[in-house]
């Protein structure tokens, strides 16, 4: 089912086009967030909170869909609309770099991080917490963007600032606010959301690795396959140097952690050239 929805052959292509503009998965998620404000206004507060926001009580009632739908419980608000726009812009940049399949995995991880932590806190005796709204998802996607493109220039109207600096400032401000109000559980949720986005991108970039629990022979075979550089096979032009298309194809099959230093250098150069444009 996953392959039928997100086929590998179209991993780096837009889902559709609108007036010659490519539309990616991030745009559909942002559009759903904006549309949820209209649904909220039509249905009212209680139906939306009762049926779509996440809480441990909702899980106990087998409302499993709330693990994902809580992000689309949004009251009409200007800043929520801004969050949806930022989710579209920064999410699209991440999706175009990593591919739609990996970006979908990132979204699922970010959506599940808060419900999982709230459930664990409930088991530890911290009751009454819930999750609703798209702003946490938007903020985590921006952290993912800043981790992927730390030197990207963000125009703040009066000043231009590196993405990693802006992300660090925003995280620090949120953390200080929760510390000031002694909201330790909210501080923990912030750490979980930011940490999930940061670690996921670093893993996809090949800067982190997960421990392997495979049998020795299978692990050795997997290691040899992952270590096989793309330069061993000539590309369509007959050159032994991998092209960007070769590297993107390898990422879609084996992930960014499989890239060699040379392949990462070529990909970084291509990204720098795109940023200059």
**Full-prediction pTM beyond 0.85?**
no
Distance CA 48, CA 122 (A): 22
Q: Which residues of 251-266 are buried (b: 16+ CB within 10 A; e: fewer)?
A: bbeebbbbbbeebeeb
DSSP 205: T
What pLDDT score was predicted for residue 274? 61
Q: Which of 66, 30, 29 is nearest to 48 (CA)?
A: 66
Beta bridge partners, 21, equal 18
What pLDDT score was predicted for residue 114? 95
Q: Which of 179, 189, 83, 176 is nearest to 129 (CA)?
A: 189
Distance CA 72, CA 134 (A): 6
Question: Exposed (0-12), middle (13-18) or buried (19+): which is 250, by Cβ within 10 Å?
Answer: buried
What pLDDT score was predicted for residue 87? 95
Per-residue pLDDT of the chain (277 residues; tens, 9 = 90+): 556 666 777 788 888 888 888 899 999 999 999 999 999 999 999 999 999 999 999 999 999 999 999 999 999 999 999 999 999 999 999 999 999 999 999 999 999 999 999 999 999 999 889 999 999 999 999 999 999 999 999 988 888 999 999 999 999 999 999 999 999 999 999 999 999 999 999 999 888 777 665 545 454 444 444 444 444 444 544 456 777 777 777 776 666 667 777 777 777 777 666 655 5
Structure tokens of 205? Answer: 């970039």
What pLDDT score was predicted for residue 225? 45
Distance CA 135, CA 174 (A): 13
What pLDDT score was predicted for residue 4? 63
Residue whose token pair is 């990207």: 152
What pLDDT score was predicted for residue 217? 47
H helix or E strand, kind and range, residue 16: strand 16-18
């Amino acid at each position: 089912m996953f392959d039928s929805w997100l086929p590998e052959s179209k991993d780096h292509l837009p889902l559709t086009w609108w007036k010659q503009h490519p539309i990616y998965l991030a745009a559909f998620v942002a559009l759903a967030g904006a549309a949820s404000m209209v649904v909220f206004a039509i249905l009212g507060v209680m139906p939306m909170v009762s049926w779509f926001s996440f809480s441990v009580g909702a899980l106990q009632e087998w409302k499993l869909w709330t693990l994902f739908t809580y992000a689309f419980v949004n009251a009409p608000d200007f800043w929520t609309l801004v969050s949806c726009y930022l989710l579209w812009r920064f999410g699209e940049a991440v999706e175009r770099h990593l591919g739609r399949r990996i970006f979908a995995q990132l979204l699922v991880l970010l959506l599940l991080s808060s419900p999982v932590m709230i459930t664990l806190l409930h088991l530890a005796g911290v009751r009454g917490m819930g999750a609703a709204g798209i702003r946490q998802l938007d903020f985590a996607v921006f952290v993912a963007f800043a981790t992927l493109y730390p030197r990207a220039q963000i125009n703040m109207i009066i000043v231009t600032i590196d993405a990693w600096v802006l992300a660090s400032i925003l995280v620090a401000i949120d953390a200080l606010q929760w510390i000031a109000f002694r909201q330790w559980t909210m501080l923990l949720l912030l750490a979980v959301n930011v940490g999930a986005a940061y670690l996921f991108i670093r893993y996809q970039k090949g800067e982190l690795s997960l421990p392997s629990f495979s049998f020795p022979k299978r692990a050795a075979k997997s290691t040899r396959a992952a270590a096989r550089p793309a330069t061993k096979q000539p590309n369509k032009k007959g050159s032994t140097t991998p092209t960007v298309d070769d590297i993107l194809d390898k990422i879609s099959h084996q992930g960014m952690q499989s890239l060699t230093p040379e392949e990462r250098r070529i990909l970084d150069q291509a990204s720098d050239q795109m940023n200059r444009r």
